[in-house]
Structure 1
Amino acid sequence: MDKEVRAYTEFEYNRHMEELRNLHHNAYDYVIDIGPHKWSRVHCPGRRYRVMTTNDAECINSSLKFARQLPMLTLAEFIRNMLQRWFHNRCRATQSMRHQLTDASHFVILKRVEKCGFMTVNPVDCEVIITET
């Protein structure tokens, strides 16, 4: 299934999907029903920065790899504790923010504003727009 997910071209995707259909028809039907735009790189509607899903459950699942072996009540307490810690850390991080955006995003915008100062704006047509003040 990895080849279908990571295919860069429609041709490559179709070739791998045909192999999947011949190998395991039920798996093929299942992934088609989900919708290739949710998991296929070539059908992705936007840039996802090499992340193929934004599913919160998968994020939590990966954080619970070792905890799955715990007894049920201990696992529930572990999950509660983990989520509480995550929310607290994010709350503290937002309280220390100096801008409405993250520092990284703010820096990107500042760089772009700096570049804009050296650009010249030329009109596309001869129409003059007069604004009232």
Structure 2
Amino acid sequence: MAKAYRKDEFEFFQNQVGKIDQRVKSYLEVAGFEKWTWVYAPVNRGRMMTSNLAECINGKLKQARELLIIEFLEEVSASSTHIYSIYDEGKKYIVCLDRSPFSCGRFQLDEITCERAITVLKNKHVVDMKPYCSEYYYPEILRKTYDQSMFPMPYKKEWIVPQEVIDEVVLPPKYKRQPGRPKKNRHKK
């Protein structure tokens, strides 16, 4: 549920949880979906949180709106070469290669190309996939992540710990052991 990219996918899992234990479903609703799910997160974790196909089309045709109707239709025809419908497991997904608002929602969250867009790109014989994923996934950027040296911590005796940290009291979470014998976790073959 937490990693669902689309609201309908999230709702399916939510209903499954409700069938198993309604109390858990109620607890998760009270906790607030925006705190622990990708699809309801108020923070744009992928820095590009739209799957609106109209936005993709409007972005492509922004300059074409000023053209005469015949020229506009030619531009629309040319722009449709960037928009594809993919059917996967009975569901329809829209892939817009121009601006990457893929309807599955994966690019918006992870900033990595989904398998449906890769299928379209391979059918178009695209070899360089770099424009279709975040620069964070480029090999040279990943290598830069490990450029800095990491030094081991000094001995505990040499630590400089502020007094307010020393004064902080951290208690373990409250836990109440359930009555009765604990259940065994058996693996069915």
**TM-score above 0.5, yes or no:** no
TM-score, L = length of structure 2: 0.26
TM-score, L = length of structure 1: 0.33
**Bigger strand share:** 2
**Bigger helix share:** 1
